[in-house]
Amino acid sequence: MMKFRTEIEIGTAQMPIGHRDAILTMGSCFADNIAGLLKERYFSVLQNPFGTLYNPLSLAEAMTMIIEQRKFTANDLFYYRDEWHSFWHHSTFSGENQNDVLRRINRQIRTAHQFLSKAKWLFLTFGTAFVYFHLPEKRLVANCHKLPENEFLREPADPKTIVQNLSRVFADLKEINPNVNILLTVSPIRHLRDGLVQNQRSKAILLLAVHELIEQNKHVFYFPAYEIMMDDLRDYRFYEANLTHPNDQAVQYIWEKFSDLFFTEATRQVAAKFFALTTALRHRVRNAQSPMHRRFLRTTLQRIESLALEYPYVNLEEARQQISAQLKAEDRSE
């Protein structure tokens, strides 16, 4: 029989992931994709507490700040184009009010520290090996915030430096949480701004560093998202129109491989129940005051209460409040 693709055999992970496990995800936008899919199935997830970060050295710095509970002050921010920014954070943290920016940054660091100290898993997704150094301040930055290019030196990190920095962070992490497992992935998203050759060079550096980290640490694992996209799917029909980001079909396929690797059959069944709840919560109707819609809301609330009894370790409070608020709003409209 002729074969037209090289499907990657996944197998079964030594350490499965379940709904009792707290998961912190950090890294590139592919980390957001996986976090979103986990959240849809009501896994306990804290997503990118510094916003989207792309290179492993900036991720190492962010993790150190979380572990040490670094408190940001006004001296850590700079003002540019009518907003306050942090070189360590994504622009989603930027804002016009300095105190508000600091409040959001410090709140997320406190939350991430508390979460990470009890987490079962830390997911790190590396997007690029290229890093930016801010020449005036002579330091690595995670985000340039559209400052003039001549203020930065851009160069690829070498695998040895990546391994040294992350190994040190992993050791520090084990001090506050001896039970945490670390899952590394290389993002399948291509950085075409670098050019195809430089993008491949960047991914090669990341892969070398990742596998060295795995060899040195028993608690560090790898999920081959990059290889699945490049070697298994390997077709532009699995990309968005920009030809860099995997489309929904590709992300779903990678998610299925992830599920096959890390979920037991029991976990898959539980995840399916919660995904059905997510689908129900997203339901939109033309006539919100109809008796049929009220019955739907009551049935959904009963489903939530039933799931809460069956899985008391899953946080369903937000879903409960969402449906309860809709029912109260309809009661007031009558």
Looking at residue 172, its amino acid is D
Amino acid 16: pLDDT = 94
Scored b (16 or more CB within 10 A) or e, 23-47 reads: bbbbbbebbbbbbebbbbbbbbbbb
Q: Tell me the whole-structure pTM to 2 decimals.
A: 0.92
Amino acid 187: pLDDT = 93
Which tokens hold the place of 189? 């998203």
Amino acid 330: pLDDT = 66
80 to 126, 146, 154, 196: CA distances (angstroms): 28, 9, 21, 32
Helices and strands, counts by H and E, the chain: 10, 10
Cβ partners under 8 Å of residue 276, min gap 6? none
- Residue 200 falls in which region: left (phi positive, over 0), alpha (psi -120 to 50) or beta: alpha
Tell me if residue 142 falls in helix, strand or coil. coil
Amino acid 37: pLDDT = 96
Amino acid 4: pLDDT = 67
| 10-residue averages of pLDDT along the chain (334 residues) | 74 90 93 93 97 96 97 97 97 97 98 97 96 94 95 95 97 96 93 84 96 93 93 88 89 93 96 95 77 86 95 95 84 60
